[in-house]
Amino acid sequence: MATNTYVALDKITVSGTSTTSVTFSGISGTYTDLVVIANIAETPSLGSFVFRVNGDSGTNYSTTYLDGNGSAASSGRYTSQSTGYLTYEGVGTGFGTYILNFMNYANTTTYKTVIARASNAANSAEATVSLWRNTSAITSITLYSGQYFASGSTFSLYGITAWSDES
């Protein structure tokens, strides 16, 4: 029976001074997928939350999103953007949790799909699916805030590995 296992690859904690971006680099191509879990200190200044892979700032990203806050829902699409869109949160308090799944990231024959979910109990929930129109393997991921990531925010990178249990 094959099972998947999370392997911790890196963790970034924002401490002291806030920052506008965090980068995971030197990502090995030995996993099937990547997962980033971000626990971001919510402030009114988070602004948009976007990503770029391999430093690609060309208009190679498209995103479809669905958002709801308990009383209203919305959806939309962005095409030919210079970043992949994750969410526009940051008006709540506490921490917002963001989970990004980079599917088949090391495959060099397909475009890359990123499925992301975001939630803050005081604010809303959102799901996005983004496409990076490039066949290169992903070796770095940069996450950007439209304003800043506050002190206390954490970003963890995991590789997903498939292994077979022959027992």
What is the mean pLDDT, run by run of 10 residues, along the chain of 167 residues? 80 92 96 94 70 97 90 91 78 76 97 90 82 98 88 95 64
State residue 1's pLDDT score.
53
Spatial distance between the Cα atoms of 98 and 37, rounded to a whole number of angstroms: 6
pTM of structure:
0.89
State residue 159's pLDDT score.
97
Spatial distance between the Cα atoms of 54 and 62, rounded to a whole number of angstroms: 16
State residue 78's pLDDT score.
92
State residue 2's pLDDT score.
58
- Residue-range domain boundaries for the chain: 2-160
Please give the distance of CA 164 from its chain centroid, rounded to a whole number: 28
**What confidence tens digit (pLDDT) does each residue in 5-53 have?**
899 999 999 998 888 899 999 999 999 999 999 998 766 555 678 999 9
Enter the CATH code of domain 2-160: 2.60.120
Spatial distance between the Cα atoms of 62 and 85, rounded to a whole number of angstroms: 8
State residue 160's pLDDT score.
95
State residue 162's pLDDT score.
73
State residue 71's pLDDT score.
86
